[in-house]
Structure 1
């Protein structure tokens, strides 16, 4: 498949033109024109690039790519090494950030809901492009039970900050993969029993305790494995491409 054709297919599926983001979405570093082998992963780290080189991939598809707003513009140091590796080996880099968070089928939030068996109800922000979501479990569970489910599904022990009434059962839940901890107050305002994000901030502890909501930090990387993995699987099924998902270890 032609690399620009692949970008058009991804853009058609994810609609990045509709979303204001912190980085360019789509083809970020141009490589070989013909794409046969794709490696997918959460972040375009040097380790992921090295694996792509090892398996002779023509493209890398990630959630966290390059050229973020506010980062130094010079291509030097770690950034320079990564980009030189891509160019030297003629590897295309495709990155999709917020479009891959919010996609209703393949997005990080949608995939996490599916893994945790959450019935999705709406965007937490009240519109279709909401980065955070809300829904409910089929049966109420304790905070300890939800922590165990997160551990089992994500293979990572979550941080659980419980409200003063630790025995408060959880039926309704909000969530935002990655760095979504600041949506917790919106979850409280909507009367939800629990909120899940990837990252946690120091202030989140007090918000959860004082506002009476169960809070779970399940890892930025761990909560965002599944969108890009699902996107790669969709490409393989729908367009007969050779796609390999690579999970580079990241405890954060």
Structure 2
């Protein structure tokens, strides 16, 4: 596969309107290598990840996040290393959060939830995905399942005594109170995201809605994995390699 064929696959998998809605929130950081036989994937672009990519003979690295602009100098350092290792890099942020097989849905699948409503983007606003258990589970069961799925500790606030039935999810940075409000108005008894602030905690408590928080990295990893599974279905000859990232965000939780 070459990069043009890869771009065609992305255009096939993602609706044009969704890509237009998130113009500038996906694309190539590097097009160094045009002959793709091995794809490596993870959530974040980092220097550590690129060492693994090079060791695994990766031709194309796919991540959810590009190097953040406010991590000053990281973008330039990553580009230099991509060039040195002859690796192309493609990142896809907003479209992967809002596609039906993306970050929210893939985490629901991992936790055993059935999709009630996909995460969506409309009028410059993100709406959390909604999932439901066929049979209610205890809050403790869900917290344990999430911790084992992410392979990391999760922060848990139990704010009601109900069995967990309906769950709102907005992975990554879904900590804004407006997102909790949307989930609550859809009848959710529990909310899951990948970052938390004082306001997230206080508002969940005020609503009486349980709150579960994993890391930004690992609540979103399964979305990148899901994208690669879609690509593998279309290009079965390709080799896909998951790259390991540290659980540094919650190691002291």
* Residue correspondence of structure 1 range 58-69 to structure 2 within 5 A: 58-66=59-67
Moved more, 207-216 or 25-34: 25-34
Secondary structure of the residue aligned to 1:32 is coil
* Residue correspondence of structure 1 range 88-127 to structure 2 within 5 A: 88-105=84-101, 107-123=102-118
Is residue 137 from structure 1 mapped to residue 133 from structure 2 by the alignment? yes
Q: Which runs of 5+ in 2 are unaligned?
A: none
- Find the counterpart in structure 1 of residue 162 from structure 2: 168
Moved more, 83-92 or 206-215: 83-92
Return the offset for 1:125: 6.0
Report Cα offsets for 1:21-71 as digits up to 9, x if no partner. 3844132321122112211111111111111222222110111124x6xx3
- Within the candidate set 225, 241, 245, 1:244 is matched to 241
CA distance in 1, matches of 2:121, 2:34: 41
Is residue 230 from structure 1 mapped to residue 226 from structure 2 by the alignment? yes
CA distance in 2, matches of 1:126, 1:231: 19
CA distance in 1, matches of 2:169, 2:217: 15
CA contact (8 A) 1:232 1:244 kept: no
Return the offset for 1:189: 2.3
Return the offset for 1:5: 1.4
CA contact (8 A) 1:3 1:34 kept: yes
CA contact (8 A) 1:29 1:92 kept: yes
Report Cα offsets for 1:66-107 as digits up to 9, x if no partner. 4x6xx369xx733221111112222111111111112212x1
Secondary structure of the residue aligned to 1:100 is helix
Over the residues paired in the alignment, what is the CA RMSD in angstroms?
A: 2.3
Secondary structure of the residue aligned to 1:187 is helix
Return the offset for 1:235: 2.2
CA distance in 1, matches of 2:184, 2:217: 25
CA contact (8 A) 2:39 2:58 kept: yes
Evaluate the alpha carbon distance shift between residue 103 and residue 143 of structure 1 in structure 2; reply closer, same or farther with a 3 A threshold: same
Return the offset for 1:108: 1.1
Return the offset for 1:157: 2.0
CA distance in 2, matches of 1:18, 1:243: 25
Q: Which runs of 5+ in 1 are unaligned?
A: none
**Equivalent pairs, count:** 243
CA distance in 2, matches of 1:131, 1:44: 26
Q: TM-score, normalised by structure 1?
A: 0.87
CA contact (8 A) 1:221 1:251 kept: no
- Within the candidate set 58, 64, 81, 1:85 is matched to 81
Moved more, 208-217 or 117-126: 117-126
CA distance in 1, matches of 2:23, 2:201: 27
**Greater RCO (CA < 8 Å, at least 6 residues apart):** 2
